[in-house]
Amino acid sequence: MDKNSYRNVETINYLRWVAIILMVIDHAGLWLLDNNPVLRTLGQAAYPIFGWLIVVGYENTRNVELYLYRLLILALLSQAPYVLLGMDHMNPIFGLVTGLIIIMAVNERSIYGIILFGSYLILGIDIYQMIVIVIMYVWRHEQEKMIAILMILFVMRGILINMVAIGAGISMILITIPGRIRYMIDRLYYYLIYPVHLVVIYMIRWVMI
């Protein structure tokens, strides 16, 4: 992939759709199909794609603080349905928020470094989620290095924690191979899909019980 092609609007839209579809597959496997290993493995590719979109969003946005606030509001809105589904930790959107804060802290040498440290201690964000975004940002223009480092990370996480984590490697293929989906997803819908789909899954589970 050309080092500037990832900023293309069509590429961003394509990756948004792919990430959403993989996320729904992952969560259906987790909450509706008794932690189905096949669906969970495929779904692991969703978070790295969302992480990559955070990197792209940081470079494209005109107002990074507004971008951060939107993500933070989304994370807060998503926490209630996440807990209702039986989860006892912070939802992955907080990982995206913290990753964005890291990028801001590195580039702007501001108070965001203190916010990052505090948020990690208080919220207990999964450090893996932050590391993925940092690696993507540092090596965003050297994608062969980025892919190699991330694949090592994914394999190590799979071996140490859960083998389905290796499925995250699928994201590297999807990120580097350009694609196109004609239907452009509205930014508001893109943000709302996370909390809304959690509510829908909760309702489906309630009906199934």
Q: What is the pLDDT along the chain (209 residues), one digit of tens a residue?
A: 544 555 688 899 999 999 999 999 999 999 999 999 999 999 999 999 999 999 999 999 989 989 999 999 999 999 999 999 999 989 999 999 988 988 888 787 666 666 665 666 556 677 888 899 999 999 999 989 999 999 999 999 888 878 778 899 999 999 988 788 889 999 899 999 999 999 999 999 999 87
Q: Are residues 184 and 11 in contact, defined by beta-carbon separation less than 8 angstroms?
A: no
Residue whose entry in the numeric block shows the structure tokens 């993500």: 71
- Give yes or no for a contact between 164 and 37, defined as CB atoms under 8 angstroms apart: yes
Beta strands in 44-147, from DSSP E residues, in sequence order: none
Gyration radius from the chain CA atoms: 17
Task: List phi, psi (to 5°) of 81.
Answer: -65, -30
Task: Establish how many alpha carbons lie within 13 A of residue 67's alpha carbon, considering only the half-sphere containing its beta carbon.
Answer: 19
